[in-house]
Amino acid sequence: MTIKIAKRGQVPPFIAMDVLRAANERAAAGDDVLHLEVGQPSTPAPAAVLAAARQALGRQTLGYTDALGLPALREAIAGHYRERYGVALDPSRVVVTTGSSGAFLLAFLAAFEHGERVALAAPAYPAYRNILTALDLVPIELTAGPEHRFQATLDVLRPQGQGIDGLIVASPANPTGTMLAPDELAAIVRHCRDMGIRLVSDEIYHGIVYSVTATTALSSGDEAFVINSFSKYFSMTGWRLGWMVVPEDMLRAIECLAQNLFISPPALSQHAALAAFACRDELDANVARYARNRALLLDELPKAGISRFAPADGAFYLYADVAHLTNDSPEFCRRMLREIGVACTPGTDFDPTRGNATLRLSFAGTTDAMVEAARRLKAWRR
Ligand SMILES: Cc1ncc(COP(=O)(O)O)c(C=O)c1O
């Protein structure tokens, strides 16, 4: 007798990760592959973080920590809000998680009942949609075009009225890199408060910005879940560590969920991350490299016929409209990988409806890799 597979466990793939696997397979077979598909820094964790990890290996038992994280790390994170944003935050509201991915799971479980509707802009980071679906929640994708900087601005949001229970915003966003201006974010926080909508603000790309300053939703109130991570600016992707600032009244619910789902975030990563906030110089040097990579691609890609980009205010992506080149971005990306060894992610990962005509290129790698990718693309498109 066949035993069923639960429908809720059958979410679509995270296509960028599928492309990464295909790219790694080609590299293992001897191809010279350039990774513009995956959103991770090509640098290790900062030197002081590595030193703290070595020290923790020698000195700490590295058992379970508090389910909400090491008290010293929660304090350091609260200090980060004071220094970076001038926001006074009680460390008791900081929850350390296994990447921001763990934070989404906890926040969605604590905030929403089965079948509730959670809005997000399309295009967006695909795991929002797929985690919501896996939890029997209903993602409501709000089509946001260039006129809204691909963001769920108030204009995009208002027609939903009270028909939504939650909203996810990200600024800078993945895949577009676009940002919400501080007053727009504040207006969204107010709108959500007035309408009884639970806001989740994904601030994972804060620190990686090129023009607009990033503000936190915490500056406008305490009702939102504010999510962040050590994966991007802090260059600690594989350490699987993130955090979330939680509304006061939801703390105990989050703690009980975290105890049961994860027991605790990874101990070694937490001890190491204690050193991360003192590494600004090294981390800002990474951001300077992203800025150079971004400028280089914005200059060179038009020579390969790729010239229509979302305004990449932050993060390390270019989201390109390639409707004049293809209406099948997954096949276009497969060909690009096969023929010139450049891996990039089809827009269908981020926008199943319109993504057939878009691509996301990550410029988180080395500048040499960007120079070579541009050279290969120009030769390919000639
Ligand atoms: C917008 C956004 N949020 C969250 C994540 C998840 O990151 P992590 O779980 O490594 O913190 C990513 C990863 O690429 C992302 O782009």
Alpha helices in the chain (DSSP H): 15-28, 47-59, 71-85, 99-111, 126-134, 154-157, 182-195, 251-261, 267-273, 280-300, 329-340, 367-381
> pLDDT-derived band of residue 332, with 50, 70 and 90 as boundaries?
very high
Distance 81 CA to ligand 1 centre (A): 20
- Tell me the pLDDT tens digit for each residue of 276-316: 999 999 999 999 999 999 999 999 999 999 999 988 999 99
pLDDT of amino acid 15: 85
- Compute φ and ψ for 6, nearest 5 degrees: -60, 140
pLDDT of amino acid 16: 82
Q: Helix, strand, or coil here: 229? A: strand
> pLDDT-derived band of residue 41, with 50, 70 and 90 as boundaries?
very high
Helices 329-340/367-381 angle, 10° precision: 100
> Which is the closest atom of ligand 1 to the Cα of 241?
11
Distance 381 CA to ligand 1 centre (A): 32
Residues enclosing ligand 1, CB less than 6 A? Answer: 39, 99-101, 125, 170, 174, 202, 204, 229, 231, 237, 242
pLDDT of amino acid 259: 97
- Tell me the pLDDT tens digit for each residue of 205-244: 999 999 778 999 999 999 999 999 999 999 999 999 999 9
> Which is the closest atom of ligand 1 to the Cα of 39?
14
Mean pLDDT of 187-201: 96
For residue 13, pLDDT over 90 is answered with: no
Mean pLDDT of the chain: 95
Q: Which helix (H) or strand (E) holds 62?
A: none
pLDDT of amino acid 161: 84
Sequence-ordered list of residues with C-beta below 8 angstroms from that of 95, at least 6 positions apart, any chain: 68, 69, 74, 103, 106, 243, 244, 245, 246, 251, 254, 255, 258
pLDDT of amino acid 3: 86
Mean pLDDT of 196-202: 97
Q: Helix, strand, or coil here: 293? A: helix
Residue 102 tokens, joined: 């763990």
Distance 254 CA to ligand 1 centre (A): 20
Antiparallel, parallel or unpaired: β 94-97 and 242-245: antiparallel
> Which is the closest atom of ligand 1 to the Cα of 170?
1
C-alpha span between 54 and 69 (Å, rounded):
20
Of 17, 174, 179, 203, the residue with max ligand 1 atoms within 8 A of its CB, to mutate for a pocket test, comes to 174
Distance 314 CA to ligand 1 centre (A): 14
